[in-house]
Amino acid sequence: MSLFERLAAAGIAPLEVNVATKLLDATITRKFLSNICGGRMQSTFSDPDAKREYGKNRSAKTFVRLVQEFNGYAPQKPGMPGLFFGNSRYHVWPVSQEQVFTRLRSGDWLYQGDYEFIRCQSMTCAEYLLQTDGFRTSWSNRCQSAKWATYIRATIALREELHREPTGIEVDARIAAIAADRSIDKVTTNQIDTAFACGEEVIGIWAMKCIGYDASFKHTMIEQFNNWARLNEPENIRCEPGRKSHTRRTKMQAYPCSNSEVRRLQRIAPSGAASASGHIDAYEANVGHNELTQ
């Protein structure tokens, strides 16, 4: 089974999105998504603060923010299906739907729609070997340092020490030991890559099915992005007449802002990003270990 055949096996097809092209294609920046909506700049999952603009009355509890380096089969157009790669220990997605953004290029993030995540067969070692060197390097580097991947590092270390598959109790004990003393956490990126390449460790896969597209949410977000950008990222809005423009997002200017909206954003825009712990805790409640991925 090829990676994309998992979508067919799950009966997933594209969702037709009947939204004006200008609105559909409008992008935002990661800094805006984190500062206004919540979540760390480098985290895949973000939990909007209930007091912030997009934490109110939302059907989906989180944003999922995907990059090609780790999720090369993420949706690239609104309504299209895709694949999410993550920790294979997780089998049940903790929420019924997620609002998904993908990075199209540096500085440009696009809302793809509301998605259901359906667990599929994990990536085989043959499929892993077919991935690009960049993908393998990115995953090995992240697994060497990320908290969510402590289970992977603990398992690899114990496998080499014991010359057999460790038990769950042994792995849990090593994870606790690593938490108490990080100096014993010494698994290398080469060891991690080798474990994936030979199938000792596997990458979990979820099919992503688009079940809706919230045009009202998108319109509001683009309006608020323009407002926020005027105060925080002036290079990302249209320059004043007679001045050279450096923006790639001039199409967003179809959504004007008022002075009252600017003042409101000044009040709600924080200087730092919110914690993503709410979503992480949902995963920990299901399986007892760390984050799903990234």
Q: What is the mean pLDDT of residues 69-81?
A: 92
Q: What is the mean pLDDT of residues 85-109?
A: 87
Residue with the larger pLDDT of the pair 290 and 200: 200
Structure tokens at 84: 């999410």
Residue 59 has pLDDT above 60, yes or no: no
Check: CB of residue 83 under 8 Å from CB of residue 71: yes
Regarding pTM above 0.85, the answer is no
Residue 90 has pLDDT above 90, yes or no: no
Residue with the larger pLDDT of the pair 174 and 271: 174
Q: What angle do CA 7, 11, 12 make, to 5 degrees?
A: 55
Give the 3-state secondary structure of residue 146: coil
In DSSP terms, 174 is beta-bridged to none
Any alpha helices (H) in the chain, and if so which ranges?
Answer: 5-9, 21-25, 30-37, 125-130, 133-145, 150-162, 168-180, 189-197, 215-232, 259-268, 277-287
What size, in residues, is the chain? Answer: 294
Residue with the larger pLDDT of the pair 22 and 253: 22
How many Cα neighbours within 13 Å face the side chain of 11?
A: 1
For the chain, the domains span 5-122+205-268, 128-201
Residue with the larger pLDDT of the pair 89 and 248: 89
Check: CB of residue 156 under 8 Å from CB of residue 201: yes
Q: What is the mean pLDDT of residues 144-171?
A: 95
Q: What is the separation, in whole angstroms, between the first and last Cα of the chain?
A: 26
Predicted pLDDT at 89: 84
Dihedral angle sign, alpha carbons of residues 84, 114, 33, 110: positive
In DSSP terms, 289 is beta-bridged to none
Q: Where does the pLDDT of residue 235 fall: very low under 50, low under 70, confident under 90, or very high at 90 and above?
A: low
Residue 267 has pLDDT above 60, yes or no: no
- DSSP secondary structure string, 62-115? -EEEE-TTT-TTS-SSTT--EEEEEETT--S-SSS-EEEEEEEETTEEEEEEEE
Residue 271 has pLDDT above 60, yes or no: no
Q: What is the mean pLDDT of residues 98-124?
A: 92
Predicted pLDDT at 136: 95
| Residue for token pair 């923010």 | 65
DSSP state of 256: -
Structure tokens at 43: 């985290």
Q: What is the mean pLDDT of residues 43-67?
A: 59
Question: How many whole angstroms separate alpha carbon 230 and alpha carbon 223?
Answer: 11
